[in-house]
């Protein structure tokens, strides 16, 4: 999973950026001069980022021109960018009722629902926008982001494929498509998308991380390490980079290097349970038994249901000569194994090395 690295709260920033691209167009109903003045002032407020003032101007304009499409566009965008999502939903619902074939209103109403944490109506409105404007990369992009947020990766990939056909030279679009492929078990296709993203933008933030993760997921560890090493620099502050780098080093038998990377991951993220678990394994393999015990105990503290951590702890305590402690840890492992039949008590992707 890559979701830990890029929770789709990031999507909210992307969606907000899309809103800024909204164009206010002239409606069939010509507003009065007074309403036109209010619309002009509302536009200025929007451009200045004063969304509260923009709302006031457009609300006043709506009172004078209640059937003017341009007024509704400005009002809906003002509420969206100002964080008034419930009001944006109300205005957007009225707008799609008046202009049901306007894809922008369905698009923006969908975004309002998404920002209000109502994914089902968000998807419904964005699907309508996509049917009305099938060549709009922005609509397909935003619909895909909602699907990604809901862990519906195959549906997200369907729309991101359309996005990269419509605008093939945007690196971030290829990253998102790669993530959708990766999370729907299409790792080889993910690799190609991440490579394309890096060709388009060689300095793409975390681009090598994504590619390295995908290589590791199909067992191509040498290629994974070559990519991840480019991200695991002294100035890197993302713990997931060091965790994935350390995990891949550990799987490749490079235990000392793995321990260093995993230690850095735990420094950056003191609650990263997987990093402490792998750090414990690495320390055990390098013969640093007390450090292994400390890391594994922290892993158990963070997730007491992790059976594999108890198994590794029993090995470390045995090596230290603590027979009673090792027996207790192994007994706890056996207890958890009975309740975790699907993995036999071992976490997915973990072994008994």
Cβ contacts of 309 within 8 Å, gap of 6 or more = 277, 280, 296, 299, 300, 303
Instruction: Count Cβ atoms within 10 A of the Cβ of residue 190 and give its class: 0-12 exposed, 13-18 middle, 19 or more buried.
Output: buried
In a domain, 14, yes or no: yes
The CATH number of the domain holding residue 64 is: 1.25.40.10
Q: What is the DSSP letter of 243?
A: H
Closest of 268, 271, 266 to residue 283, by C-alpha: 266
Q: Calculate the alpha carbon distances from 163 to 23, 139, 255, 319, 340 in Å.
A: 20, 9, 42, 55, 41
> How many structural domains comprise the chain?
1
Distance between CA atoms of 279 and 292, rounded to whole angstroms?
7
In a domain, 38, yes or no: yes
258-267 contacts: CB < 8 A, separation 24 or more?
A: 258/282, 259/283, 259/286, 259/288, 261/232, 264/232, 264/239, 265/239, 265/240, 266/239, 266/295, 266/298
State pTM to two decimals: 0.85
Instruction: Count Cβ atoms within 10 A of the Cβ of residue 131 and give its class: 0-12 exposed, 13-18 middle, 19 or more buried.
Output: exposed
Domain range for 49:
1-130
Distance between CA atoms of 125 and 123, rounded to whole angstroms?
6
Q: Calculate the alpha carbon distances from 300 to 322, 331, 344 in Å.
A: 18, 14, 18
In a domain, 79, yes or no: yes
Q: Calculate the alpha carbon distances from 124 to 111, 158, 204, 304 in Å.
A: 11, 16, 33, 40
Q: What is the DSSP letter of 6?
A: S
Distance between CA atoms of 145 and 122, rounded to whole angstroms?
11
pLDDT at site 1: 35
* Residue at token pair 């002032």: 41
| pLDDT averaged per 10 residues, the chain (length 353) | 36 42 48 90 96 97 93 96 97 97 97 98 98 98 98 98 98 98 97 98 97 98 98 97 98 98 98 98 97 98 97 97 97 92 51 45
In a domain, 114, yes or no: yes
- DSSP per-residue codes, 104-131: HHHHHHHHHHHHTT-HHHHHHHHHHHHH
Distance between CA atoms of 252 and 246, rounded to whole angstroms?
10
In a domain, 162, yes or no: no
In a domain, 110, yes or no: yes
Cβ contacts of 274 within 8 Å, gap of 6 or more = 243, 247
pLDDT at site 19: 45
In a domain, 15, yes or no: yes
In a domain, 273, yes or no: no
Report residue 227 as tokens.
């990519």
Other beta carbons within 10 Å of 39: 27
- Side-chain-side CA neighbours of 168 within 13 Å: the count stands at 3
pLDDT at site 197: 98
Distance between CA atoms of 350 and 343, rounded to whole angstroms?
10
């Amino acid at each position: 999973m890559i979701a830990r690295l890029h929770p789709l709260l990031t999507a909210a920033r992307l969606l907000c950026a899309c809103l800024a691209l909204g164009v206010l167009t002239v409606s069939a109903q010509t507003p009065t001069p007074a309403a036109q003045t209010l619309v002009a002032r509302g536009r200025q407020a929007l451009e200045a980022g004063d969304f509260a003032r923009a709302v006031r101007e457009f609300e006043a304009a709506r009172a004078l021109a209640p059937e003017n499409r341009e007024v509704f566009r400005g009002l809906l965008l003002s509420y969206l960018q100002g964080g008034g999502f419930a009001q944006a939903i109300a205005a957007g619902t009225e707008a799609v009722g008046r202009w049901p074939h306007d894809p922008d209103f369905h698009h923006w109403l969908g975004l309002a629902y998404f920002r209000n944490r109502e994914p089902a109506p968000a998807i419904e409105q964005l699907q309508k926008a996509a049917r009305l404007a099938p060549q709009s990369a922005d609509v397909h992009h935003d619909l895909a982001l909602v699907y990604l947020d809901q862990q519906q990766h195959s549906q997200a990939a369907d729309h991101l494929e359309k996005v990269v056909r419509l605008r093939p030279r945007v690196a971030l679009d290829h990253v998102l498509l790669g993530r959708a492929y990766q999370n729907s078990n299409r790792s080889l296709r993910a690799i190609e998308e991440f490579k394309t993203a890096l060709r388009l933008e060689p300095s793409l933030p975390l681009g090598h991380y994504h590619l390295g993760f995908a290589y590791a997921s199909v067992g191509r560890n040498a290629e994974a390490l070559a990519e991840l090493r480019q991200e695991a620099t002294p100035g890197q502050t993302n713990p997931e980079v060091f965790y994935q780098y350390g995990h891949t080093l550990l799987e490749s038998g490079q235990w000392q290097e793995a321990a260093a990377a995993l230690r850095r991951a735990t420094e950056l993220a003191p609650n990263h349970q997987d990093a402490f678990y792998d750090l414990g394994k690495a320390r055990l393999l390098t013969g640093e038994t007390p450090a292994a015990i400390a890391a594994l105990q922290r892993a158990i503290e963070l997730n007491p249901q992790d059976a594999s951590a108890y198994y590794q702890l029993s090995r470390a305590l045995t090596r230290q000569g603590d027979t009673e402690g090792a027996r207790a840890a192994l007994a706890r492992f056996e207890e958890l194994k009975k309740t975790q039949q699907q993995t036999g008590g071992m976490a997915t992707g973990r072994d008994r090395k």
